[in-house]
Structure 1
């Protein structure tokens, strides 16, 4: 069929070439024009518009008739591009700049096809999203829903489960990320070890999001993948991926998730989005090793290497501690952290609560050891107690009835088991009974507990009160 409109003719010609490259097959279950239209409809709903109909797409390809809404045409083209990429094993992922240039090219084709189309009005302004994931940040409970660590309880503390926030150098960077979220999709990962304040820093940054943004925390990788591949609108949404290694790993599903997130970031018509992640330092090193070895490259590695990494200091520096001081006068939890946490303020605020929980959940032998140590402190013993002292003192706290039903192996190992339980670090702070560092000049090796009467344990004051 001849087309006497130059703009329409070019549009039809390029669409047919796209369909050929994508490998469309008539009446094929997953690679037909009907399947591409369905996939385009999903993308359209994510940007707040209706998907294209079958007859409309047929008119685009056969007659070069322009779509009423460019977003419908671009969604269809994006699906064809994705399928063409999947067919070519040697093709590489396109950059954001390449995607934007391609979108501008198709926008020009669409405008040229519309110039002599009488009665066609310009595309309407962006409509509100028909379907949205998540909800505004103000509607979240950060402790119950976003895994922000609650703080310790202290007499006279404020009613808020979160302590007064102390802004630090990385917070200015995160505020900039949040306030500029409308400009482009991006992935930002906060990196630090346990209880360094990663999730709390993100929560504070979300308060600076532009009006109308949502926050969505997928329950697991399955829910995330479903939304990325066929779900409702993700535009103007923060994807809350705390403990990002739960979503991205070296499994096939982890690689698939990484590929879907990469596609999201490279699809401007689906955004803008902000992927807010957190990782421990070791997790980042494992998932995104800095190496020239091609075998180590993967979709997960590529995604994380392209992400904006913000490293959070594990300790408060002098400037941070000065900022903390006036706030501690109004929040007793901060005051206690200043007194007992040294420079690891956030770890103390989160970890001290866990130390108490560990005591409450301790097995009988560990509870006996902790009770003996706490009573020793109350009776005036020094904070450093030898293992010989603790072994004899804790034995008096064991329940005779419980002892009677235990095996001979348990009876021979109860103290070692108790010490192992009580010495494990917890959210970045030492365990309730932490082995003391050997004196300067002592051997590097610390003898086994059963043969080291001089090895000491430090008891935090929070467990001696």
Structure 2
């Protein structure tokens, strides 16, 4: 509370610096006040800061922070709180309704503008009290307890200024005449006689005149925010990824433990009590607890959100004299973070339930077990708690409810959660996304960003469980150049790039997680989902689909069938609209791999009609997939005659097959020369050197393949021709294309 008072005084001081009455008003009063407390003259410091604030070289908020700290330091000495409040009352700009800098609306009690952060100079309503506080005495109540119920009441008008020299002096029989420059500022000097008291430390004196206020001021708890005024995102619920106009948090999905928690919360709202939601890290404890409060508490329920570091000893005093017809809740998210000084927490935890107040808290399982079982004050306070535990593993009923949600983030969690679970999937997403995004900036981790990007795009194409190795990263980025010829991946990969990418975030997972095969890595599911939803993500191009499909086929990755199926829709769109001339060939290949004969033949024919030099692909399909040599030959010959060198050798072997067929017919009809030529040709075809040459046709050029199909090649066509020539071909040609 003294921090708030110091901040308010600093705000009033800085906001008064550029006013016309600065020299004889706020400055004069503050210099006297500070000098009395700290024995220092701060006139020079004030003028230096005033020059910076008015001249624009010192932001008002920075100046306010400086003087807030100095005023707070004065409280450790002997500043009188009532005098500070009089300073705030006399010099605050109480008529401000909008920020002078950005014109945003502000409330009467605001100190800073919530939009631009400028000081408004309107601090909280001053306090009034009637006691002397001896500091340093271990048995004295805390300052927070003494001031908590006073911050909301206005200070009564002080008596006429007392020009006396100090608290121990008697009345001056000859008061000095009034002058335009009084020796003392217009503040009453409190006279408290404690000459016979035993004081063990500095004293803060605050005067309250009961003659002015016969009734007690309202309790501070009556000014806590109402439940209807609080947003879910402001109470500690872990954020999830959101793009464009998506709400900050998705809808709450009911958990199986909700009915039990509802019963405990409803009882606590009526009778008071401590309810703690425990569970694994990122199990959804905060969201579940807050949802229970929203279901069971009325909109006018007053809620105190205790952030870590809040002195909870002030709470019982803040509740004294409260409106007994109202409902009050203390919210303690991550309760264990308040236990740095157990003595400051245990007593309020024990007192508040007796005040009829619900204390709703969350704690991880490990922290609860550490603090609950023992003999210290914290353990004793937690013995009265009622607990509900959560787990990251969702039941079938919970997953069924999740599947019915329409929010795209929840749909993504249901579809992609895999080993992470729903709540961890949603929680880790923003951290993964932001760290990966920032890795691409100049001076970041460009190589690691590139590795993750390729893994994300492979997963977007359907390679969800298949991991990437150094070989496949090289194939996609360097060989197939899916991101352009300017983007190169330096090999071998640096271990530090992989270590950074796979390091777990929030203790859940890294940007890369292990693939199915040892030594392979795939993109984390939340990262893939966020990239898919983000409107700024680059679309998957035909070259990316083609390269990923080729890669999964060539390296026989487990997800290849899923990739083929997922690619059909976008590739068919490009093929039918003519947006990309290469689309028909890829669509024909995908149809071949998936065993869709009619579609494959249709699109291979479209490829040949668009470019005669590619007509041999239809011929190969008819030969290798359907065993129709007679139908295949014209298309292969058309491509060769169009100048394509690729099908020329296979055309020669296939024509040789036809030649031997007719030589055989001639020999059967008694032609002697044909009968002599056939054995010679068959012997030549069985030559070991020829067989060796045909067995090792050389490396396939994967850099710019016209058709991404490692099965429909000239080598396969030649071997099929040899099988026929050497009588090795079965009656039904084997399926050399499908798997």
Alignment of 1:334 with 2:410, yes or no, is yes
Which residue of 2 is the match for residue 283 of structure 1? 367
SS of structure 1 residue aligned to 2:271: coil
Which residue of 1 is the match for residue 101 of structure 2? none
Deviations 1:397-451 (A, max 9, x none): 99xxxx9xxxxxxx9997333323322344575322112477xxxxxxxxxxxxx
Which residue of 1 is the match for residue 287 of structure 2? 200
CA distance in 2, matches of 1:414, 1:237: 58
CA distance in 2, matches of 1:277, 1:360: 35
Q: Is the 8 A contact 1:365 1:418 kept in 2?
A: yes
Residue 305 of structure 1 and its aligned partner are, at CA, apart by 3.9
Which residue of 2 is the match for residue 71 of structure 1? none
Cα gap change, 1:134/1:361 in structure 2, threshold over 3 Å: closer, same or farther? Answer: farther
Give the unaligned 5+ runs of structure 2: 1-131, 154-215, 440-444, 533-739
* TM-score normalised according to structure 2 size: 0.37
CA distance in 1, matches of 2:493, 2:378: 44
Which residue of 1 is the match for residue 304 of structure 2? 216
CA distance in 2, matches of 1:176, 1:201: 14
Aligned counterpart for 1:434 among listed residues 506, 509, 513: 513
Residue 348 of structure 1 and its aligned partner are, at CA, apart by 2.2
Cα gap change, 1:275/1:234 in structure 2, threshold over 3 Å: closer, same or farther? Answer: farther
Cα gap change, 1:228/1:135 in structure 2, threshold over 3 Å: closer, same or farther? Answer: same
Aligned counterpart for 2:496 among listed residues 400, 417, 441: 417
CA distance in 2, matches of 1:380, 1:314: 26
Alignment of 1:181 with 2:260, yes or no, is no
Cα gap change, 1:308/1:173 in structure 2, threshold over 3 Å: closer, same or farther? Answer: same
CA distance in 2, matches of 1:368, 1:39: 54
Cα gap change, 1:154/1:386 in structure 2, threshold over 3 Å: closer, same or farther? Answer: same
Which residue of 1 is the match for residue 235 of structure 2? 146
CA distance in 2, matches of 1:150, 1:40: 34
* TM-score normalised according to structure 1 size: 0.56
Cα gap change, 1:384/1:305 in structure 2, threshold over 3 Å: closer, same or farther? Answer: farther
Residue 462 of structure 1 and its aligned partner are, at CA, apart by 2.4
Q: Is the 8 A contact 1:347 1:428 kept in 2?
A: no
Q: Is the 8 A contact 2:467 2:516 kept in 1?
A: no
SS of structure 1 residue aligned to 2:467: strand
CA distance in 2, matches of 1:240, 1:40: 19
Q: Is the 8 A contact 1:132 1:233 kept in 2?
A: no
Residue 370 of structure 1 and its aligned partner are, at CA, apart by 1.0
Which residue of 1 is the match for residue 519 of structure 2? 455
Q: Is the 8 A contact 1:216 1:240 kept in 2?
A: yes
State how 1:95-134 maps to structure 2 within 5 Å: 129=219, 131-132=221-222, 134=224
Which residue of 2 is the match for residue 98 of structure 1? none
Quick check: which has more Rg, 1 or 2? 2
Cα gap change, 1:464/1:457 in structure 2, threshold over 3 Å: closer, same or farther? Answer: farther
Q: Is the 8 A contact 2:468 2:515 kept in 1?
A: no
CA distance in 1, matches of 2:227, 2:464: 48
Alignment of 1:302 with 2:369, yes or no, is no
CA distance in 2, matches of 1:243, 1:315: 21
Which residue of 1 is the match for residue 389 of structure 2? 311
- Larger relative contact order (C-alpha < 8 A, sep ≥ 6)? 1
Give the count of matched residue pairs. 319
Cα gap change, 1:303/1:131 in structure 2, threshold over 3 Å: closer, same or farther? Answer: closer
Deviations 1:314-368 (A, max 9, x none): 1221111222233x2x322222221112482222233333321221133334313
Residue 29 of structure 1 and its aligned partner are, at CA, apart by 4.9
